Chains A and B, each alone.
Chain A
Amino acid sequence: MKRIYWVLLIATATLITVAGCKKLLDRQPLSGSLDDLKSGKLESQVYVMYSHLPWDWGFNLSWIDFHSIRDDDAEKGSNQTDGAEVNTEFDKFVGYTKDDWALNSYWNDHYAVITAANNVLATAKELNATDPATLRNVGEACFFRAYCYFELVKDFGEVPLINFPVLKPTDAIQPKALVPAIYQQIDSDLNVAVQYLPVNSSAYGSGFDGRLTQGAALTLWAQTALFRSDWAKVASLCQQIIGLGQYSLAPNFTDLWKAGPNGAGHNGPESIWETQTVVGQNAATNSAVDHGTMWQTCQGIRQGGASNDWNLGWGWNTPTQQLVDDWDNSDPRKNQTILFSGQSDGGAAEGGYGRTLPPYSASEAGGIARKYWNKKVYSDPAMHAFTGQLTGNADWLGHRILRYADVILMLAEAANETGDGATAEANLELVRARARGGNIAVLPHITFVSQDQMRLAIKNERRWEFAMEGYRFYDLVRWTPATTDTIDAPHILGPLGYQPKNALYPLPQQAIDLSGGVLKQNPNY
């Protein structure tokens, strides 16, 4: 009989545990999931779009390949073997594998942001709210979608147009949309963005410096109109931006590239939109205060055989001999844009820090592998000391994506094309005057003589002002065929191997494969 008690005891214990099973099985994550975001759901999804900018290759290393290395003024840089495939694909316009990191990440990362934007818009619709904050968020999403489609349409021409939330992956398999349809989407998105985005980021509340504004949407819109040679629209949009009264050219050209907590260029008066970073003291060992970007890391001086304190990055996107040769020494921006191996960095006047670069050495034995480096990402030793990042990543230096000087020069160009020589002359002078830095001996004022003369002057000005910043390739493409001068893609890039088909880049093979053949490769690739 005693055994029966044992059986009862165990059976009871079992029943108690069985009864507790429901509780045992209902488990939710021990940290936040999307479902836990109630009021902040929309806002934190908006942040997702921004969060792609600092570290995605598609907005950094690959971005540089597409935007800068393809032109005549910049080359891959680094050393001979590093990224040799980029030499052939982006510098020499031959040998497209259609399946490599640069192309894949550029495509994928842009579509990832488009997906994030589509999700924000879907959530906003679901919330059905019309409060200013929600509308601002809608404006941000529209901006991001337009930004990405503008880059895709410039680079690939026809691409799939995904302007809806993808609920199942097959929905995202779409044939290529025609270029006008893509621009139609861009225009409509930017129209919404301009309406909803605030004039100043302070409208978001304090602590949101650098967040998207109406000015950013107008600038992007102007760029898209410029690429389509819609001069009247460019002029009108630029005038609107100026009318906002939010921006001015930074008095000192070198200030633009000064970053860090107190860097003059960080969200400075000329900055319309830039990748935001904050890298605090001792960030080297404290990841909690390290929120940088890889923008500078891609481009900073590559150590090669030099000492550790010259390990400032991977050394991509360096000035070509062509740029150095073409650029008049009298333009102060030349020494403010280019670092010369084996020479002084020029000190504060030229945006340097009083250091002397290691000598050039093709084999990197005891020196660095390039003769010239991009000074617009030259990092401040004081910031290296402050952050403890003594070598490598100056990851506080963010990408100045949209800056006011472009608005001024876009206006100059559009005015000139629409026959308003005076406005063209005045705006061109604004940029040259700032570059001159008070030294009247250099960069003389250019008086309007003729539309052709002014067009060439503006084309040249864009080359010097934006050198290494990734404008020129698209400028050369859109100036094709050039009307009177020979500043266009076939003339300038032809000698480097450029052919008409190279105005567009081939689509990633992976995307074509995944679509099961719905996507078609661009012509002649």
Chain B
Amino acid sequence: MKKNLTIGGSRFHAVKKALLIMKLSFLLILAGALQVSANVNGQIKVSLKLDKVEISKALNTIEKQGTYRFLYNSRLESIRQKIDIDVSNLEIRDVLSQMFKGTDLTYKMLDNNLIVVVSGTLTVQDIKITGKVTGEGGEGLSGASVSLKGTSRGTTTDNTGNFTLTVPENGTIVISSIGFETREIAINSQSVINVKLTTANKVMDQVVVIGYGTVNKRDLTGSIVKIDGKEIADKPNTNPVSSLQSKVAGLYVVNNGTPGKEPDIRIRGTVSIGQVHPLYVVDGIFNDNIDYLNPNDIESIEVLKDPSSLAIFGVRGATGAIVITTKKAKSGQVLVNFNSTYGFKNLVDKIKLTNASQFKTLFAEENANNNVNINIDSAIGIGLNSNTDWIKAVTRTGAQTMNNVSVSATSEKNRFNLGVGYTLDQGIIRHEELQKWLLSFSDEYKLSKGIKVGINFNGSRQKLPYPYGRFVNVLDDARKVVPQISSGTKSFKVRDLYGASTDSITENLYSQLNLGLQTSGVVNPLLYLENEWDKTSDIEYRNVGSVFAEVNFLKNFTWRSTVYADITSSNNRQYVPTYYGYDPLANTPVVYSPTTRVQEDDDTRRKFQQDHVLTFRKSFGDHNVTATAGFTTYYSGVFNRTGKSGQATGPSSLPIPNDPRFWYVNNFFQDPTGTSATSSQSENSTVSELARVLYNYKQKYFFNASFRDDASSRLLPANRHQQFWALGAGWDVSKEAFMNTQKMFDFLKIKGSVGVLGNQTAVQDDGITIIDYPAYPLLNTGSTTVFGNTVYAAATPIYIANPNLKWETVSAQEVGFELSSFQNRLHFEANYYNKTTNNLMTYVNRQQLGLPNELINGGSLRNWGEEFAATWNQKLTNDFSIVVSGNITFLNNKVLKLSDELPTGVLDVTSQNNGEAISETKPGMPIGYFKGYIVTGVFQNQAEIDNSADQSSLGPTARPGDLKYKDISGPDGKLDNKITSDDRTKIGNPTPKYTYGGTIALNYKGLNLSVDVGGVYGNQVYRTWGALESPYQRVNYAAFELKRWHGEGTSNSEPLLSQADRSNYVGSTRSIEDGSYFRIRNMQLGYNLPNSLLSKASIKNLRVFVNVQNLKTWKHNSGYTPEFGGIATQFGYDFATGEIPVVTTFGLNVTF
């Protein structure tokens, strides 16, 4: 081929053009045939220095360098334009751009380094391009987005990474895929563009969502962890937060096996004695939970932990933030995604109790111990001879299914995404079932080049398992019932309680207990569960939506205004039917629930938020600035109404029929004088201004500053405004010249931040009920007094007004570094954090002074520790890659002081059996530590008792077999050889010393296997069952009580059996168990079907997988699970509940 080809004259323009096209087509075909070279054009660099030469001459010079050849019409005028050029080692595109600058010349790059130069006056044509997007190892990347730059025209790659797209021949396409660096490629008339993407395992290249904006992770000075929505979508958790367990350093998630129940989440420790759950920000709206979100609609979750990223949230920032971005349509054609999982749940690690014969043995022994001479069979109940496993009787294999369909489509101006989901989630307790319908919709429309408007909506309808608080104790009730009671039904001829007066019907009845043996507080759980489970209805509708408008103006400014609303209404109805049980001793039917009644609760929650944010982005040479200023308001109102009615009493009254038609307060059958209604309502709002500057110099030195002023309706005007701020700095050491010679680090950044965050926690002493009006003490509505037959309302304030109240502030610091090494295979991040909560809102018990609780500022609390996270990412062969990651967080917590006003105050939260189970919060100690006596053994004989400290203050005179406690103090702080309340001390800490997690993922062609593990170490669990039984309840024995003391030398840990020996039932180390555990959290095997199979069915992507959650837990305690949440000052209690099932799911994910 000749070097310079000149074709015809301008007269024959059309002909020439046709010819040109023919030749180009030929070349293209050739190029297609030769594309195996897979060498992307223009990669060989060019150097050139010419002064005042014609362009054609310059092209000639380049040709002489041997790589590129040019094809142009030498009659073009612009080809003779004279230029200066001085480039060295630049890509040919850049060289040509420089040369053609100011001319109408454009070029098309063909394969084999042939470049066609034409005049720009030629019409730009659309061409069809095809190509393949591959990863570093050459594997096809499915689902990668390929779009025309500056437009929303685009597509996504199929299962093997191939794509086809029609684009203007001079356009540029943008190729992006999650986990890879985005690339832009100029088309230049190439019809085949194969792109290799490099892995963004350089975690720092992620774009992360922060408050009121997004930022490249590289520009951050703090700690934000991003979790891809894919990690959440295929996990069998109806609440997306549950899936974060063990995934993120610093994030401590305590899950719960009850469907839909909120996990207990704390970020970097327990920073308050009030509310400690993080702030959730879903597409901008502030929230307290995210149970209305479909896990499949989540694009990403960011966990914000450090002061520099949290200060922008001001008074909501102290507890950390979880920022969720929901899915929006990506550039591409119409995409339809369907996914479905089906699975089942099984109870594992069942608590162990005694069976019938064991119970009989132990109970006989207990009676003997107390000289109760009674025939053991008659004590248990003659004729009661079942051997029921009560835990088994109330549990089952639960089913779970989650199904979602989503459609997304984009056009030039519009992006639209619609998703619908249905979830059924059964608990392992009989009849426990959550149903959810979920809807998501987002649409974004470009009004003009600089103006966008959009709408976002998430709706859900949830049918909650039971009305609040109903049947929550099924497992605890079950473990109490003695095994001799039958769990089955018996048939009796009875009167129809709803009508007839004679025994006319036959019913299968559940057993009552032997009321002589098991009385108050013990009940056959099946009796109420089976009769009442379907007599309730608890339905919640939630609508969360927002609209926004965004305007770009003056090049560098963006104004975005968003208005949000979150409206929930729920209706909760309970009908108590009338029904029988049978007396198991007399073998007769007994009316167990004598009267019918109805309760209705209506809850409306309204939240409104508006954000107006102005962003300025500009680079001044090496200085890059992003500045944000904003104004936002937030309103939240809660309105509740409860109505109750019951059937009238008296012989002629009719029951309310057992039909959902009548489950309303007014149903005609109700007693007109026995109907009552109550309500509760409160509102609060905040108005805030915020500002933030992110600055970096050459992407090497980073600084940021953020500020927020929050004004809250909860405070009186004098203290209403409070300011929060943070400063952060970072240094990318690897960008320094002196690092050029080293091979060790691909990336190394040192960073740190300081700031003051806020917590508008203000809760009543239950640790839960939020106080919206601390300056105006509400009055106890139920507090009344009676004179004669008249009732008067007494004005008892729930708390004392505190006009000086301020919010808690958390003074937080963080330093850390992150690095990449081994060709970016290793990414490692380490942080040290320190947070001191000041002005702690304390609610210290002052009842001993006759005073009600007052919410005051005083006291402080410190949380500090280290976090480490590492990821190793390696491609072993083209088909086989491995990712290993792990994280560990060390936690320390110390209460510095509790109250300025009352330094001796401590905060005790007690539960169980006359308050023997104590969580104490006290200066110098970790928050909510367990307090009690230390058991040193079991008295083996009288001599040992005589030689030990006097325990008479704990109960009747000690005898052999009773627990022996350690004398650690006395009234004057000295040993007094007496066991008294002075000898109670710290016996456990519910906060782990460290928490950790890890993942191993293996990918082989379409197959992938991943294993998530996690655990905690160094915390204790307070087991109340089998140790702190109420003195007036006879309950089944725990299996470990078989190891009780029953004679000298038989046991030195479990005391003799005798509920009368109360000294054995005080809170002590007997109840404390090791809470450390290690769990295989998820194991997932998935397979992406090859494209060759799918393409015939027009399927883009099809994945099948099987996932097992909680496959195995290695633990040391006797409960169902080692993890128990709670409130800030009382957590880690095992009340014989908290089952965590193994969940096995099979899933299918199809994209059309």
Give the B-binding residues of A (Cβ under 8 A).
Answer: 2-4, 6-7, 10, 13-14, 17-18, 21, 24-35, 37, 40-41, 44-45, 47-48, 50-51, 54, 78-85, 87-88, 94-101, 104, 107-108, 110-116, 162, 166, 168-170, 172-173, 201, 204, 207-211, 261, 267, 276-278, 280-282, 284-289, 291, 303-306, 308, 361-367, 385-388, 390, 508-511, 513-516, 521
Contacts and interface: CB of A to CB of B under 8 A. Distances in A.
Interface string B528-564: 0000000000000000000001011100000101000
Most buried by A among B682, B905, B980: B980
A278 B785 CA distance: 10
Contact of A84 (B559, B847, B956): B956
Contacts of B954: 95, 97
Contacts of B649: 281-282, 284, 385-388
Interface residues of B, number: 113
B310 interface: no
Contact of B713 (A27, A170, A306): A27
B903 A98 contact: no
Contacts of A30: 681-683
B792 interface: yes
Nearest to B638: A30
Contacts of B597: 285
B1031 interface: yes
A384 to B, nearest CB: 10
B793 A47 contact: yes
Given A10-B549, A13-B561, A514 B849 contact: yes
Contacts of A83: 1031-1032
Nearest to A9: B549
Interface string B494-522: 00000000000000000000111101100
Contacts of B797: 33-34
Nearest to B914: A101
A29 B776 contact: yes
B795 A48 contact: yes
B633 interface: yes
Interface of B: 367, 370, 372, 374, 378-379, 381, 448, 450-451, 514-517, 519-520, 549, 551-553, 559, 561, 585, 590, 594-595, 597, 610, 612, 631, 633, 635, 644-650, 671, 673-676, 680-687, 711-714, 717, 720, 772-773, 776-779, 781, 783-797, 801, 845-852, 854, 901-906, 914-915, 952-957, 971, 980-982, 1031-1032, 1059-1060, 1062
B1146 to A, nearest CB: 48
Contacts of A387: 649
A210 B787 contact: yes
Most buried by A among B610, B676, B789: B789
A108 to B, nearest CB: 4
Given A24-B713, A209-B788, A84 B644 contact: no
B642 to A, nearest CB: 10
Contacts of B785: 47-48, 50-51, 276
Contact of B551 (A3, A84, A169, A306): A3
A33 B379 CA distance: 55
B846 A35 contact: no
A21 B675 CA distance: 41
B378 A365 contact: yes
Contacts, number: 334
Contacts of A288: 676
Given A25-B711, A286-B676, A98 B981 contact: yes
A286 B646 contact: yes
A60 to B, nearest CB: 15
Closest 4 CB pairs of A and B: A305-B516, A285-B646, A111-B850, A209-B788
Contact of A388 (B646, B676, B794): B646
Contacts of B520: 303
B788 A276 contact: yes
B492 to A, nearest CB: 17
B848 A111 contact: yes
A99 B675 CA distance: 42
A276 B585 contact: no
Given A4-B553, A6-B451, A305 B517 contact: yes
Contacts of A169: 846, 849, 851, 854, 901-902, 905
B706 to A, nearest CB: 21
B551 A97 contact: no
A511 B848 contact: yes
Given A207-B790, A261-B789, A513-B906, A35 B776 contact: yes
A281 B781 CA distance: 22
Most buried by B among A40, A87, A169, A288: A169
A84 B1060 contact: yes
Contact of B612 (A2, A14, A162, A210): A14
Nearest to A388: B649
Contact of A515 (B516, B644, B784, B904): B904
Nearest to B844: A169
B1032 A367 contact: no
B549 A278 contact: no
A284 B576 CA distance: 13
Given A27-B683, A84-B1062, A95-B956, A366 B585 contact: yes
B561 A24 contact: no
A2 B1062 contact: no
B850 A82 contact: no
A278 B786 contact: yes
A365 B684 CA distance: 56
Contacts of B956: 84, 87-88, 95
26 contacts: A21-B687, A27-B685, A27-B713, A29-B772, A31-B778, A31-B779, A33-B779, A48-B785, A48-B796, A82-B1031, A111-B847, A112-B847, A169-B901, A170-B902, A207-B787, A207-B790, A210-B787, A278-B790, A285-B646, A286-B673, A288-B676, A304-B515, A304-B519, A362-B372, A363-B379, A364-B517
Most buried by A among B374, B649, B779, B955: B649
B794 A27 contact: no
Nearest to A113: B850
B629 to A, nearest CB: 12
A10 B671 CA distance: 56
Contacts of B849: 111, 115, 162, 166, 169, 172-173, 511, 514
B551 A10 contact: yes
B92 to A, nearest CB: 38
A45 B795 contact: yes
A85 B451 CA distance: 75
A168 B846 CA distance: 11
A28 B776 contact: yes
A204 B612 CA distance: 60
Contacts of B848: 104, 107-108, 111, 508, 510-511, 514
Contacts of B852: 112, 115
Contacts of B788: 207-210, 267, 276, 278
A469 B367 CA distance: 34
Given A21-B687, A84-B1062, A288-B676, A51 B784 contact: yes
Contacts of B610: 17
Given A82-B1031, A169-B901, A308-B590, A303 B515 contact: yes
A99 B914 CA distance: 10
Contacts of A267: 788
Most buried by B among A3, A168, A277, A390: A3
A285 B644 contact: yes
Nearest to A310: B515
A29 B631 CA distance: 26
A208 B791 CA distance: 9
Contacts of A388: 595, 646, 649, 674
A27 B773 contact: yes
A78 B1032 contact: yes
B794 A365 contact: no
Given A286-B676, A513-B906, A94 B847 contact: no
A152 to B, nearest CB: 11
B167 to A, nearest CB: 28
